[in-house]
Amino acid sequence: MQPIEKLFAFSEAPENIRWREERAPLGALCYLLNIIGIIGNITVLHIFRLRMPPSNYRVFIMSLSALDLNMCFIHLIKEFNRMLIIYRTFDDILETHVCAFGNFGGYFSGVPAVPIVLFIAFERYRKICTPFKPQISIKRSKIMCLVSVLVCFVLVTPVYEMYGVRFVKIGNVTATRCAIKNKYDGSVLPFVFSIFIFMSAFLNVIGIIVFQIKIRNALVEKAKSKMRMKNIKGASGTSDKATVNKTQSVEDQEAAKNRRIAVTFAIVSVMLVISFFTLTIFHLVKAVERFVSPTMEISKVEDVINEYVPDAIILNGILNPFVYFFTDNQFRQEVYKACGRNV
C-alpha cells in the first residue's frame, strides 16, 4: 500500500510569506491573548502561593491556574509553529512528534479542569448548604485535584497516537496540518474518543449545575433569614448592643466571604463550560465527519476554522485571572501592592 503522501499530486506550494501576511491578524491576536494569559496566571500563582493563607480556595485556584498557565504556553508554541510554516508539502518525524505532544499537552491541561470545577462546586455545597457536617480538608482537596490530573493523563493518552501530520488538499495545494492522521479516517478510535470526552464533560457539567443551583438557593435563603432576624432584633431591642453588633459583624464577614467565593467559582464554571464545550462539540463533529465520509480536500475558510476554533479552550484560562481580580478583594489588593500602588 502506498504512503498517504503518494496519493496526492504534489503541486508547487504558495509563497509562505504571502500566506503569513493573510493570517497575521489572527496570529497576532493569538500571541497577545496567550501572553496575557501567561502573565495573568503567573501573577495568580505567585500571589496565592506566597500571600494567601492555606485553604481549599487557595488549593483550587492554584490548581486551575497551573493548568491554565500550561495551556497558554502550549498554545503560544502551537501558534509559533503554525505561523512558521503555513503550507508544507512533506512529513518528518520531528513535526509528527511535536504535533502529537502539543495536542496531548492541550488535552492534558484542559480536561482535568472540568472534574476539578466539579469538586469545587461540591466543596462549596458542603460549606454553604451543610455547614454543620464534616467539611473537606485541605489535604483532601489536594488529593482530589491530583487524582483528577492523573486520571485525565491516562484517559487522554490516545491523543498522542491519533494526532500527527495530516495531509490535506487546499485548492490545488497539497499541505500538511497538525491534526488527526489520515490513517484514522474511517477508524472508530477518534470517533469513540470524542464521544467519550464529550459525555464525560456533559456528566460533569450536570453535576456542576446541580451543585451551583443548590448553592444559589442556600445563599438566597440565608440572606432572607438574616434580614428577618435583623427585623426581629430591631423590633424587640436588646440590652447588649455591642455584643450583638460584634457577633453580627463576624457572621456578616463569613457570609460575604462565602458569597464572594461562590460567585468567583460560578463565573469560572460558566466560562469553562462554554470554552470546553465549544472545543468538544467541534471535535465531535469533525470525528463524525471523518468516520462517516472522510475527505482530504478542504477550502481555505474551512482550513482557518479547523486551525483556530479549537483555540477557544484557552479563553477561560486567559480570563480567569481577571475574574479573581474583580471578585477577590484580597487578591486585588495584593496585585496593587505588587505593582507598587498603595491600597
Confidence of residue 13 (pLDDT cuts 50, 70, 90): very low
- At 313 the pLDDT is 85
Distance between CA 187 and CA 182 in Å, rounded? 10
Number of neighbouring beta carbons within 10 Å of residue 329: 13
CB 70 within 8 A of CB 50: no
- At 198 the pLDDT is 92
Distance between CA 197 and CA 193 in Å, rounded? 6
Place of cell 501572553: 35
CB 215 within 8 A of CB 128: yes
Extract the runs of DSSP E, i.e. beta strands, from the chain: 163-170, 173-180, 297-298
Distance between CA 61 and CA 261 in Å, rounded? 11
pLDDT, one tens digit per residue, over 125-143 is 998 888 888 899 999 999 9
Residue-range domains of the chain with CATH: 4-338 (1.20.1070.10)
The model's pTM is: 0.84
Give the amino acid at 300.
Answer: K
